[in-house]
Amino acid sequence: MTNKLVTIILPVYNGEKYLKRAIDSVLNQTIGYDKLTLLVINDGGTDSSSQIISNYQKKYPELIHFIDRENKGVAKTRNEAIILTETEYLTFLDQDDYLDQEFVQKLYQEAKTSKVDVVVGGYRRPDEVGSVRKTVQPSDTEFGKFITMAAWSKLHRTKFLKENKIEFFDNSVGEDNVFTFKEIMSTQNILIINYIGYNWFYNTSSVSNTAQSSLNSENQEALERLLEKLFQVNDNSNSKINEYFIVRMIVFYLLFSGRNSTLSEFASAELKFNSIMKNYGSSYNILTYIPKGESFSIKMILKIFYILKKMSLLNFVMRFYCKGK
C-alpha cells in the first residue's frame, strides 16, 4: 500500500448502465492506476453491478477493493469507506459520473504543493449525447467554498476527515450538505482551483424524477432533520456566512420542491422551517447579507423572497407558483 496515493470511493446501487464508464475513467487517470485504490461498495443492489465489478477486480486486483453487502444507504456506505481508506487523500465518484483523465493528478499535485486539507475543482454536466448542459467553476471568494456542496469534484485529506469526524448525514436529502458544511467549519485550509475535471452526468430520466419532488409530509420531515442538523453543526458559531448558507438553502428547497407542491404544503413547510430558524436565533433577515462570490441571479431571487415575506405577500404569490394537486 506504500505506493498508493489516493483512494477513489465509488458507492454502487443498481448502477449497471453507466458503471463501466465510471470505472474506465479511473483506469485512464494520468497519475497511473498503480497509484490509486478504487474502493467500490455494492450497496445491496439487484442488477448486474456486482458481476461487472467482480470482472474488473479480477483484471485489476491491485486497483480495486470490492465490498459486496446488504443495503445500508449511500451515507453509511461512504462513511464506511472513509474509515477503510488508508491513503493520504481520498475523493468520491458517483456511479453515473466520470472523471477527466488528469483529474486525480491535478488535484493531488495542488494538495501536495499547497499542503491543504481540501482541494476544490469545478464540474460540468454532460448529457446522454455528450452535450454539456452546465459548467460550474467555484470562485476563490468568501462564498466560493459553499458553491459546490457535493463531496465529489474535490480531494480530501483522509486524516483531516477522520480527526474531525466529518461524516455524511443519513437522510433522504442533504447528506452531502452536512459533510461539506462541517468540512468548511473545520479548516481554513481549503484551496479552490481554476480547473474542471469532474463530470456530473445529466441523466434526463433521473433529473425528471427529481423534478417531481414536493413538500409532502415525508419530504418536509427529511428537510426538517437536515435543517436541525446544520444548525447543530453550526453550533452558534456567530458566522454570518454560515447562517446565510443555511437560510439560503431553506429558500431554495422551498422554491424547488414548492413548485410541485400545493399551496397548503408550501405554507406548512415554510412555517415549520421558520420555526426551526427562530429556535436557533436565525431569521430571513440574514438574506440581506450577501457574501462575496454569490451570483447576481441568486441575489435577486433571495431579495424578492425576502421582500415578499417581509410584506406578508409570500403565500399570496405562491398560490400562482405552486402547481401541485
Contact 7, 158 (CB under 8 A): yes
Judged against a pLDDT cut of 60, whether residue 208 lies above it is answered with: no
Alpha-carbon separation of residue 305 from 2, 223, 279 (angstroms): 53, 19, 21
Q: How far is 284 from 244, CA to CA, in rounded Å? A: 9
Q: How far is 146 from 2, CA to CA, in rounded Å? A: 34
The reported pLDDT for the residue numbered 247 is: 97
Measure CA 95 to chain center. Answer: 14
Percent of the chain at pLDDT > 70 equals 98
pLDDT-derived band of residue 235, with 50, 70 and 90 as boundaries? confident
Q: How far is 215 from 223, CA to CA, in rounded Å? A: 9
**Residue type present at position 227:** L
Rounded mean pLDDT, 15-39 = 98
Cell of 320: 400562482
Q: What is the pLDDT of residues 63-78, one digit of tens each?
A: 999 999 999 999 999 9
Contact 248, 288 (CB under 8 A): no
Radius of gyration of the chain measured on its C-alpha atoms: 20
The reported pLDDT for the residue numbered 2 is: 65
Q: What is the pLDDT of residues 80-114, one digit of tens each?
A: 999 999 999 999 999 999 999 999 999 999 999 99
The reported pLDDT for the residue numbered 204 is: 81
Cell of 103: 483529474
Q: How far is 80 from 83, CA to CA, in rounded Å? A: 5
Contact 154, 120 (CB under 8 A): yes
Contact 262, 318 (CB under 8 A): no
Measure CA 195 to chain center. Answer: 18
pTM: 0.95
The reported pLDDT for the residue numbered 90 is: 99
The reported pLDDT for the residue numbered 1 is: 47
Contact 318, 267 (CB under 8 A): yes
The reported pLDDT for the residue numbered 75 is: 97
Q: What is the pLDDT of residues 237-287, one digit of tens each?
A: 889 999 999 999 999 999 999 999 999 999 999 999 999 999 999 999 999
Contact 265, 250 (CB under 8 A): no
Q: What is the pLDDT of residues 29-38, one digit of tens each?
A: 999 999 999 9
pLDDT-derived band of residue 212, with 50, 70 and 90 as boundaries? low
b/e 223-251 (16+ beta carbons within 10 angstroms → b): bebbbebbbebbeeeeeebbbbbbbbbbb
Percent of the chain at pLDDT > 90 equals 93
Angle at 279 between CA 305 and CA 228, to 5 degrees: 80
The reported pLDDT for the residue numbered 223 is: 96
Q: DSSP letters of 94-124?
A: -TT-EE-TTHHHHHHHHHHHHT-SEEEEEEE
b/e 264-283 (16+ beta carbons within 10 angstroms → b): ebbbbbbebbeebbeebebe
